Every structure is written in C-alpha cells, then in structure tokens.
Structure 1
Amino acid sequence: RTFYTLVMVDPDAPSPSDPNLREYLHWLVTDIPGTTGASFGQEVMCYESPRPTMGIHRFVLVLFQQLGRQTVYAPGWRQNFNTRDF
C-alpha cells in the first residue's frame, strides 16, 4: 500500500523582499493513503490559511511518496521550516 506526505509552505514569508521566515509551514499531513485524499492522513500540523501581509506570495505544495507508514513529529514552530531537510 502506498502512502504520501503533503507539505504546504510559503517561501516568501513575511514578504518577498525580506523572506526571513522562509519557509513558513502552513500544513503537514503524513500517511495519506494513495487511494484517498489528505483528509484520511495524519495531520501533523493543522492547516493554517495563508495571510500574506505584503506583496505577492508563492505557496508551494509538495507531495512525497513514503516507503511505508512513518512517525513524524510536529516541528516546534512554523517559521523557518526547511522542506529540503524534511
């Protein structure tokens, strides 16, 4: 059985000209079964609606295929999340 992890980040937080909170984590869901949607996964960080305060922001959704079920712990904070290191 195939499982996925969904990560949603804002690489432009708090502003595109000074993204010192890059990347801001908006959502993290693991163990999403390949036959269903994100609502059937394990929500590690609950969804936080984008609220760009300055300029135009990019919002990036990345879907990772897992090798099996995984235990993922919530990061201590949402700002300065690193998708590449994750």
Structure 2
Amino acid sequence: MPAREQRDPLAVARVIGDVLDPFTRSINLRVTYGGNREVTNGCEFKPSQIVNQPTVDVGGDDMRTLFTLVTIF
C-alpha cells in the first residue's frame, strides 16, 4: 500500500454511504478548467479561473451510453 492512501473523493466527501449506496466505478470521469486544472474535492477556484465552461472527459468506448453530470456549488 502506498505511503499516502488514495481514497475515492466521493467516499471522502461522504456522498457514498450518505447519498448513494456503495458501488464499483465502471468508467473514469475527469473534469478540468483551462485544460490543466483538475477538479477534485476541496479544490478552490477563483472566479477568473472558471469564466469558461469546464472540459468533461468521460471514459468508455460505447458511444450509445449516456451520462448525467450534476454539479453542486
């Protein structure tokens, strides 16, 4: 096990367990602003950093599968 344990951000934020039942992630999801600033739990952005819409990369090869992304501010 690495020196610094890697935990799922949804578990750290208690979304899994309080809001959602535990599940196994089936695809990767990455959200970035400005092409290089990745959104993670506890990440703070200045208004000038989020003027433009984020880039959302959803993994998976099946283009027939649809997803809904919900953001909470």
The TM-score range, normalised by the shorter chain, is 0.3 to 0.5
TM-score scaled by structure 1?
Answer: 0.31
In terms of fraction of residues, the more helix-rich structure is 2
TM-score scaled by structure 2?
Answer: 0.35
In terms of fraction of residues, the more strand-rich structure is 1
Computing the radius of gyration from Cα coordinates, the structure with the larger value is: 2
